[in-house]
Structure 1
Amino acid sequence: MSLIGYFDIRKELEDFDAIHTEIEKGIVFKGTNLLILMCAILVASVGLNMNSTAVIIGAMLISPLMGPINGMGYSIATYDWRLFRRSLKNFSFAAGVSLFTSTLYFLITPVNTAHSELLARTSPTIYDVFIASFGGLAGILAISSRLKGNVIPGVAIATALMPPLCTAGYGLATLQFNFFFGALYLFTINSVFIAVAALFVCQILKFPISSFIDPSHRKRVNSIITTILLITIIPSIILGYNLVQKERFTENTNRYLQNISVLNSSYLIEAKVDENLQTISLLYSGYGPSEEELVQLKDKALIFQLDTSKINIIKGADAEILLQSTSRYLTEAQELENRLNITTTLLQQTQLKLDSIHNIPAMGENLLKEIKQIYPQIESCSYAESIVFADTTRSQRLPVVIFTSATVIGQNEQNKISEWIQVRLNNKAAKTYFFF
């Protein structure tokens, strides 16, 4: 058997009349199909509301929305315009019912937080086009084959028609139209490219044409399909490009931050990154990087393909500027906490000053105990701290020690005691006086 023979599905192909019957049966939305659709929408809405992936997958498994989409692709391929009108009508009705049901649910539910599962359906990209196309191909191939297996449920999960409709309903219910239009665009991508995949497979497998069509009409149909594809795919390419750029910026920024976290003269306290504007704000400790380190920071930014004009470096000494620019985002509790921290710091500083004042008498007592071990004739010690003014602009705190001795202490000994006092108090300006 040749390699091409492995890909030949003609022997497994279902009878064309049976395929037509199955597709025609799948486009109907009334009775059981309609109730199942509404249940699936409610299950998907609850899953999105509770951020439960398992529940959302369950909703996609029971969703019957694939039927009319495959019907549209099949009917265009076979030029069966009666079936196309029925498929389009039923698809529009199903989408409308789904949107109404999900909107009603999100109007009633008390939980309106947009979790990750909701947010994931608001920014479609070119990758969603690939998913819908390959999923649609798998779906129509399964319908066309006698060996269907479990492909259809898998396609329903992969192409994800229900969650975008539910997200659009959430956007309507909460008046967040960026959610509504983003999710509706994702639903449009999935629907269009599933239908196009069905059209492509039906033409490749040469499904019988139901009615004669002249070449000019066929050319016009192809032009309309091409236009719809371009209108659908171009925004997704732009969004996909932006997504890739954002991912690349995030990766480069993380690597850049790892290389500049510690400098010789300071270290990185905080980094604020705006992925949309691609800006980076760096807060460094103390007086920040030196001029030489600033040049190094810019050189490293170029290595990681970052725009140096969008990197803002803030010194720790200038952090108040950053706090002022971000204060509007602080909650009242955070502001109170900041004030409490400042008050606590001031109290601690005041306590240190008071402790220093209280320790002055103890210092004289300690000096007397220490000096008497060498000069037992010294009877008393007085210790004080005086503020000496050199002029009207400068002053210094001057320790003064007075010793009283029962006998006269020689000048050499007095000099030794004075030097010892300066070392002991760690102040070369300390003055020592003696009384006999």
Structure 2
Amino acid sequence: MRRLDIHLAADERFDTVQRAIKASEPVDYYILDTERKDRKLISVFIREGMEQTLMDNVQTALEGANGWRISILPIEATAPKLEEARQGKQQKATQATREEIYSDVATGARFDRNFFVMVVLSTIVAAIGLNSDGVAAVIGAMVIAPLLGPVLGFSMGAALGDDALLKRASVTLAAGIGTALACSLLLSFVLPIDLESRELMSRAEVRLDGLALAMAAGGAAALSLTSSQASALVGVMVAAALLPPGAAVGLFMGAGEWALALRACLLLALNVAALILSALIVFRLRRIRPRSWIEQKNANRAVLLNAVLSGLVLIASVALILYLDLGDKVSIG
């Protein structure tokens, strides 16, 4: 169960909002007067799965008005126990509201000092772990890597047709990857590169099973986000698909191993495209879309464009993988 607090003016729209609340069949609701006589506070207790419908209806009723706000609060427990939903009524799947998801994603897609420091620290840990063949260090870098946020932000921006979020996530993702490359490149001049390290050389092995891993990780991350479930494990999976190959690119470049750097860069590009595409698919399947039909039309175009671009990157990456593998076989033969 959730609680929605609706702050609004006590004008002619108040009755419309009240009708929208009653139509959503809330568990309970009450109306409070505030210190300002022209303001009202409505607290609505509603079953999970109905929050988005109520929020959309209230926002539609208040469209064009000023000075209103809706806040969502979780209810950890309640007594007496809630009755089960009435038979014959389809129970909607539990899902975070569009506004909750947007708030989480927008925060993670922001490039700030903390994001920069976390990328630098995780790259240092990853580069040392890769070069020394230290599995524990690489896993540690996966845990602290913050690259999950901008990936989901890009997919969310495409799903909603939100150009501002798309641009912010794109800049943050590019800045994060660029920082990781620059940091690992600088480390390559300090660390003697060990080409015998299995952890390092595995990031130059581009295989199609890595595509399946990245697709699964991106889909799991988006599903975790929309279901309001803990995403720590998913964050590790996504970081594993992005940060280690990014750090490997810088190390190989610093060592002058351009062929290996190309392979690691190809793996990085393939993973980014797969993560974005799979997360975008999950957002669409979970019906994460704008409220108005005009915004939905723009979102559909953004989804189609980004899906096509991601698909083209995947196809090009797979084709290049097959070409490189064929070249290796020919040279060996």
> Structure 2 CA distance, aligned partners of 1:69 and 1:40?
17
Gaps of 5+ in 2: 1-89
Partner of 2:136: 54
Change (3 A) 1:154 1:110: closer
Matches within 5 A, 1:174-253: 174-209=255-290, 212=294, 218-219=300-301, 222-223=304-305, 225-236=307-318, 239=321
- Partner SS, residue 91 of structure 1: helix
Shift of 1:210: 6.5
For 1:205, the aligned partner's letter is R
- Structure 1 Cα separation of the partners of residues 250 and 209 of structure 2: 23
TM-score of the aligned structures, taking structure 1 as reference length: 0.51
What is the alpha-carbon distance in structure 2 between the residues aligned to residue 85 and residue 51 of structure 1? Answer: 37
Partner of 1:38: 120
Q: Distance in 1 between matches of 2:299 and 2:286?
A: 22
Residue identity opposite 1:189 in structure 2: L
Task: Note if contact 2:225-2:231 (Cα within 8 Å) is conserved in structure 1.
Answer: no
Deviation track 1:33-91 (CA, whole Å, cap 9, x = no partner) reads: 22111100000000011011121111111100111011101110110111000100111
Equivalent position of 2:156 in the other structure? 74
Shift of 1:150: 4.5
How do 1:13-412 and structure 2 match up within 5 A? 13-148=95-230, 150-156=232-238, 159-209=240-290, 212=294, 218-219=300-301, 222-223=304-305, 225-236=307-318, 239=321, 276-277=330-331, 279=333
CA distance in 1, matches of 2:331, 2:279: 40
Q: Taking structure 1 as reference, are residues 202 and 217 closer, same or farther at Cα in structure 2, changes over 3 Å only?
A: closer
Q: Which amino acid aligns with 2:215?
A: S
Q: Unaligned 5+ residue runs, structure 1?
A: 1-7, 247-273, 280-436
Q: Which amino acid aligns with 2:218?
A: G
Cα distance per residue 1:1-46 (max 9 Å; x no partner):
xxxxxxx995331122111110001112222222111100000000
In 2, the alpha carbon distance for the partners of 1:135 and 1:164 equals 16
Paired amino acid for 1:14: A
Asked whether the 8 Å contact 2:161–2:303 carries over to 1, the reply is: no
**Is 134-143 or 124-133 further displaced after alignment?**
124-133
Q: Please report how far the alpha carbon of residue 217 of structure 1 lies from its aligned counterpart in structure 2 after TM superposition.
A: 8.7
Cα deviation, residue 139, structure 1: 0.7
Higher RCO (Cα < 8 Å, 6 or more apart): 2
RMSD, aligned α-carbons: 2.9
Q: Secondary structure at the match of 1:17?
A: helix
CA-to-aligned-CA distance 1:267-288 (integer Å, 9 cap, x gap): xxxxxxx955464xxxxxxxxx
Question: Matches of 1:215 and 1:22 in 2, distance apart?
Answer: 24
Residues 182, 250 of structure 2: 8 Å contact kept: yes
Measured in 2, the distance between the counterparts of 1:149 and 1:67 equals 11
The range that moved more, 18-27 or 31-40, is 31-40
Counterpart amino acid of residue 209 in structure 1 = P
1:156 Cα deviation from its structure 2 partner? 3.2
The question of whether the paired residues in 2 share the 8 Å contact of 1:122 and 1:182 is answered with: yes
- Output the TM-score relative to the length of structure 2: 0.65
CA contact (8 A) 1:104 1:173 kept: yes
Q: Quick one: which amino acid aligns to residue 90 of structure 1? A: T
**Per-residue CA distance 1:173-221 (angstroms, 9 max, x = gap):** 1122112221111111111111111111111111132673586994586
Where does residue 261 of structure 1 map in the other structure? none
Whole-angstrom CA distance in 2 between matches of 1:214 and 1:151: 32
Query: In 1, distance between residues paired with 2:147 and 2:133?
Result: 22
Q: Residues of 2 paired with 1:224 and 1:22: CA distance? A: 21
**2: distance between equivalents of 1:28 and 1:165?**
20
SS of 2:93's partner is: helix
Letter in 1 for 2:200: L
* 1:385-404 deviation digits (Å, cap 9, x = unpaired): xxxxxxxxxxxxxxxxxxxx
1:148 shift after superposition:
2.3
Distance 1:60 1:14 in 2: 26
The question of whether the paired residues in 1 share the 8 Å contact of 2:110 and 2:172 is answered with yes
CA deviation after TM superposition for structure 1 residue 128, in Å: 1.6
1:230, distance to aligned residue in structure 2 (A): 2.3
Deviations 1:119-176 (A, max 9, x none): 211232322211111110001111111232643244235x421111111101221122
2:245 is aligned with what amino acid? P
SS at match of 1:207: coil
Rg larger for: 1
Aligned residues: 243
Identity of aligned residues (%): 22
